[in-house]
Structures are given as C-alpha cells and as structure tokens.
Chains A and B, each alone.
Chain A
Amino acid sequence: MFIRSKLCLVSLVIGMLCAPSQLIAAGGADVNLEKGKWSFAGPFGYFDKAALQRGFQVYREVCAGCHGIDYLAFRNLADLGYNAAEIKAIAAEYEVMDGPDDDGEMFMRPARPADQIPNPYRNDNEARANNNGALPPDLSLIAKARANGPDYLYSLMIGYEDAPETTEVPDGMYYNNAYPGHLIAMPQPIYGDDVEYSDGAPTTTAGIASDVTNFLMWAAEPKMEIRKRIGVAAVFFLSIFVIMSYFAKRRVWADLH
C-alpha cells in the first residue's frame, strides 16, 4: 500500500508537470524546429560572452532597424563583458530625448549608460506605418515569449524558403518554415555576411542566427547565470537537508518499532 501510494504521488506529479508541456506543444504543431546546442542550456548553463557581443552587434546592425529592445539599458551591457568606458562609448552613439529644460523645451542629448536602449520608432503607429501595417514585436522578452524560444528564434532566422507550389504567398508576406502558419510579414533578415565580426567568427546565416539567438536569450533572462549558480548550491544544500532529516526521522521513530 505504501509503495502504491508513493507511485500514485509520483504519477500525479508527473501528470501535472506534463500538462503545461502539452500546452506549449499546442502552440506550434505544424513546424519542425532546429534544435540548437546552446551554452546556456542545462543546470550548468552559461552565456558565451563572445557570442553575446556578436549577437548585440547583429541586433544593432540588423534587427534594430525595426525592432526595439525596450527593457534593456546600456548599463546592462556590462553582462556582455564590456567595461564602463566601452558602455559609455556605445551609449554615446545614440541620441535620446530629455527635458524639459529650464525654458520648458525638450531636447536631444547623447545617451548615457543609465538610459534604456532607444526604440527605432516613437510609437506603435509609426512602427506599423513603416512596416506594411505589421508591428515588429519588442525583442526584450521574445526568447521567453515563444514556445521553445531559442530553438524557435534560430529556426526562424534560417527558415526562409521558397514557398511550396500549393501555398500562395500574398504581397508583403514571406514563407518561413518555422513560423506557425508559415506566412510571416518579416522579410528575411539574415543572408550571411550581413555583419563583419572583429573576432573572425563565421558570418554564415547559421552563425549569425546563432549569435543573435544567444543575445536574445540573455536579453530575456539576464539573471540566468546567477540563478543556475545559486540553484546548484541550493539543490546541493537541500539534498543534504533531505538526507539528514530522513535519518533524524528514523532515529526519532526507532524507539517505536
């Protein structure tokens, strides 16, 4: 009976843990995602700083034409391995609106590390007007806002294909293997050699897609490294707690048997 109730407990927990993964699977049933090998996967996952810097470069030179990344501030780039002076220099390349000044006027000034990374558009309407009516989503959280985020983003970047003959692709739409429904308003962003890396990393479509995926995962979950590091310590500590409390329990109960 004890064994059985244990089994029932285990099956209940497993059943309930499976339920949400079922949900997620329901999100994009008709697409096959490329499974990437990500340094940030697994309990000891970490961010590859060189890839993050390259990915940030891709964001700046390719994605930022249309997509904002509103929840990132320049100061956050310290996580990518930039020092304070470099961050200051990067920020100074951007202009942000400040004010009002003493005369009540708004004015433009070079960005500082404490500023958010400016959005390419002033508002959603301007973004739509410039993109055929489609709104390019903000990329701060995109890696968590899609099922299997990193694999999905990577597959999407490399997933542009000629449409099969049975599919009619309307004007302003493109065929993508990874996109649910396959018709996407975003034109192919990466063709290979879109950027020039200073570290000599490959600038193939796959290489660039992988770098920008790394960057977007970091942007969505910047605390992942510390989370997993604390997690390993917590699980280690609690495992000892489990073992000790088990034997303490046996000891206390021993006089009953």
Chain B
Amino acid sequence: MSAEKFSNPVVRWIDHRLPVFSMLDHTANDYPTPKNLNYMWNFGSLAGLSLVIMIVTGIVLAMNYTAHVDHAFESVERIMRDVNHGWLIRYIHMNAASFFFIVVYIHIFRGLYYGSYKAPRELLWILGVVIFLLMMATAFMGYVLPWGQMSFWGATVITNLFSAIPFVGESIVTFLWGGFSVDNPTLNRFFSLHYLMPFLIAGVVVLHIVALHRFGSNNPIGIDAKGPQDTISFHPYYTIKDMFGVAVFLLLLAGAVFFFPNAMGHPDNYIPANPMQTPAHIVPEWYFLPFYAILRAVPDKLGGVLLMFSAILVLFILPWLDRSPIRSARFRPVFRIFFWLLFVDCIALGYLGAKPAEGIYVVLSRVTTAWYFMHFLIILPLLSVFETTKPLPKSISEPVLSARSHNAGVGQMAPAE
C-alpha cells in the first residue's frame, strides 16, 4: 500500500525509504475504532499528554535544580523566585503530577468497569499496571527532591519498609540509601532515577499502544466490532473528541496551577528537611493514601508491606480472576453493584490513609482493606460462575439503532453522546 497514498512527492520519497508516514496513517486514518466510545475513553490520551507535560517541565526544572542536601531546598526556592517563570514551571510539574494520577485512576476504573482487561487484551492491561507501578516509583522519588520535611520523612518511612524483608532487609535498605540513613547519596540516586524512569514509562507506553492497536479499543458494550458498520476512523472523529478532552483537562489544570497551586501538597514540605525533628503526621502524597491505609491496616510490618504490594500485584492476575466472558458491566447487574462498592472502598481507603492510625480509623482501614482483596480474590471468581448476565446485543450498531427508534435511553446507547 503506502507510497501511492500520499500526493506530496517529498512525503512519498521519504515514506518509501522510511515508512513513518504510513505508520502515522495507520495509527490515525486506517485505525478502525468502535463508534460507541464514551467520554471515559478520553483518559488514555490525557494520560499520554500528562506524561509529555511532566517530561517537558521536568527537563526544564532539572536545568535549575541542585541535587545536594545542602542546596536542594534552596535551589527549588530559587526556581520559584529568581528563574524566569520558574514558579510556573514548578507549579505545573507539581500539579500535573496529581492530575496524571487522577487521569490514570479514572482510566483504570474505566478498564475495570468495562472489562477492558479481558481476552484478548490481557497484556495490554498488564502493561498498564507496569506503567502504574513505574509512575508510583517516579512520583515517590520526585517528591523527595525538594528536600522538605515531608520529602525527607516520606523517603525515610517508605525506604524503611524494605527492612521488613527477613534476613536481608537491613542490607537492602542500606543499599537503597547508599549509606546508613536517608542522606545525600539517597537524594542523588533518587534524582538520577527520577530523571530516568519517565523515559522507561514512555517506552512501556509505546508497548501499551502497540498492544492496543492489535485488537483496537474495547467499548462500552464490550462486544467486538463485527465490521465496518460498527467502527469509524480514529481521525477525525476521535482526534477531535480527544481534543475536546484535552481542552477540559488543560482548563482544570490551569485552575489548579494558577489559583490553588499548593492545595494538593502538604504545608510541611515548605519546611527544609530536618533529620532531628519528625513531623506530627507523616503522610504521603494523596495518590498513595489508599495504599498507605492498607500498609497501616496490618499490625505486622512485613505483613503490611506484603499486603500493600499485593494490592497492586493482584491487578496483574485480574484477567484470570474474573473469568466471566461478558466484558461490560452494563450486562452484569451484580458485578456492577460490586464495582461501585469497590470504588467507594478505594475512596474510603484514601480517606483513611490521611487519618492518624488510631481508634476507629484502624478498624475501618482493616474492613476496607479486607473488602479490597475480597473483591478481587473471592467475589470476582464467584461472580464469573454464578452471575446471571443480561443478553448481549448482536452488534455495536444494533443497540445504537434500537435506542434511537425507542426514543429512550439516548444517553444509554447512542454513540458517545
């Protein structure tokens, strides 16, 4: 195919030797996409945009940042005060990190609701979980760099988790720190890794997209496209729809950056790190709070650490825990109830992670932690067997047309809106 597709002779010449234009064409024009994707499908492109924003602002920040315990805090203040528009770059980097997680969490819950992890998209899902893990590591190390009180004590708490590993735990922690406490070597390696890992993420994102393009997007009905009548070309339909999503995203991001730049941070991180003084409450960034709640729900340190990591690892085997052949929650009435229970459970875990580990909060943390694992390990396998599902439509186009003719549930089945 390819070469004849392009009228511009220069494009043709290049494409014959280096088929980049064919690749682009294949990605946007040739790529058939289900016609019924709703706005929940906007968050993949928004996550990609977030990654680009983080890398661009991060590279500029790195030009002005000093990774040394004596200068890190001061260099960040210098960026805020003396570097031209440094305050803007830094506030974008800070807030876009939070927005990145908001977008990715919605993206994950979208996948959970519509069964996007099911065959044949298991590897697509698993690569997504890998991206999520890399994001968490990157964000954690990035938060250490300003070398404020929460940076230092967050790093101390999280790296100390590894000391729970039997026999080799202490040695591993010393290895991570590059010394016998969180200190200059720790800051230096965190900076190095914080700069490296976004590019690893970008690499896995490429694989994620390759895997996506193998079978195309899942869709709100969760049945495969049966032919051209069920699909539309990605461009211009979804490029323009993604652009609208990008506009809304940027508007919200601008609102945070310009008017509430510190709302998602902790005031203690404007106090320089002080190894001699522990803050009253050590809390991680908000996007880690659900996992922090799981960690603290277990009275045993090793148990807490294992459970916290299991909370993410369980997502890797999700495609084999939920064996129901029906993808979309629309046709799984019981699953749908449990999905929303899980959603509430995760929000509750986030709330509890921000509370001190005492009294009723501990009890609630344990209940919500237990529910989280019960959902994946017990409820989903059981539902796969016992749930009575609703009949599936014959094709993507069918319910579109029937919904129109009944003049009801326009929001229910109409393509996108």
Contacts and interface: CB of A to CB of B under 8 A. Distances in A.
Contacts of B88: 227, 230
A228 interface: yes
Question: Interface extent on A, as a size class?
Answer: 35 or more
Interface in A140-182: 140-141, 144-147, 149, 180
B259 interface: yes
Question: Interface extent on B, as a size class?
Answer: 35 or more
A149 to B, nearest CB: 7
A97 interface: no
Interface string B269-312: 01100000000110100110100000000000000000000000
A223 B270 contact: no
A190 B121 CA distance: 67
Contacts, number: 155
Nearest to B411: A2
Contacts of A13: 102
* Majority secondary structure, A binding face: helix
B417 A2 contact: yes
A252 B87 CA distance: 38
A16 B350 contact: yes
Contact of A253 (B77, B264, B286, B416): B416
Contacts of B248: 242
A3 interface: yes
Contacts of A137: 271
A242 B411 contact: no
With most chain B CB atoms within 10 A of its CB, the pick from A27, A232, A246, A249 is A249
B154 interface: no
A230 B91 CA distance: 13
A42 B174 CA distance: 47
A225 to B, nearest CB: 11
Contacts of A100: none
A76 B80 CA distance: 13
Contacts of A246: 244, 247
Interface of A: 1-3, 5-6, 8-9, 12-13, 15-17, 19-24, 26-27, 43, 71, 76, 137, 140-141, 144-147, 149, 180, 220, 222-223, 227-228, 230-232, 234-235, 238-239, 241-242, 245-246, 248-249, 252-253, 256-257
What 6 A-B pairs come out closest when comparing CB atoms?
A231-B258, A145-B270, A2-B411, A238-B251, A245-B244, A242-B247
